[in-house]
Amino acid sequence: MNRVWLALRHHPSGVLLVGQLLVVLAFPFLDTSTAGRAVLGVGQMVLVLSALAAVRLTPALSWVALLLGVPAMVFAVLEAVRPEVDWIVLTSVAVHAPFYFYVSYAMIRYLFADDRVTTDELFATGAAFTVVAWAFAYVYAGAQVLWPSSFTGASGSEQSWFNLLFLSFTNLTSVGLSDVVPVGGHARSLVMVEQLAGVLYVALVIARLVGLTVVRAATRSDPRD
């Protein structure tokens, strides 16, 4: 228990990253039943708490994360139990998407706060990327309710949240290997925004991280030091 607490205290971004990846791996096993969806809802709550811990270590304001995170925790459970109710889905989107976008913004501020690359900043680089993918998945879920048949795929015109998360990851990473396709005008607009966000993340955040690492290595090996 002490090791878990120390990990959460010193590497909250790593906890968030690992938690998100575990949810991705567990989703196919648990999404087939109400009980499974409830477990996923609790898992999302844990992710929210981990995200809050990460945000508290950034210059961003903690109360903003709490204001968005508390209702997100509530609707994570409600949506897990009643995923077919449109108003629950839309309300969940209205609190989850801003929350995850805010967490990603706070993590990026954390990454740009200094010129020294720490272990937790490396975790935050991956966590912020996955958080953005989570946020766009919720945006797509809302678009699917507001504009039915916005997406199509092997499973038909009504896509599950996990399929939308898969679409989000394929767009953000620019691999374009998803079998879920945006066919509505609004959906395509949102997908284009995410594609641009993915390119900018690599160009600005990851490139800066690599640059700082190279400079630090060069400074250490400089014989004049």
| Domain coverage including residue 8 | 2-221
Q: Give 105-129 pLDDT, tens digit per residue.
A: 888 887 787 677 777 778 888 888 8
Confidence of residue 222 (pLDDT cuts 50, 70, 90): low
Res 143: pLDDT: 95
3-state secondary structure at position 181? strand
Say if residues 123 and 11 touch (Cβ distance below 8 Å): yes
Residues contacting residue 99 through CB under 8 Å, at least 6 positions apart: 48, 51, 65, 68, 69, 72
Rounded to an integer, what distance in angstroms lies between the CA atom of residue 196 and that of residue 174? Answer: 9
Q: What separation in angstroms does the CA of 144 have from each of 28, 61, 159, 183?
A: 21, 32, 8, 11
Separation of alpha carbons 220 and 50, rounded Å: 34
For 23-59, the pLDDT digits (tens) are 889 888 887 777 777 777 777 777 776 766 665 655 5
Q: How many domains does the chain have?
A: 1
Cα(157)–Cα(79) distance, integer angstroms: 20
More confident of the two residues 149 and 154: 149
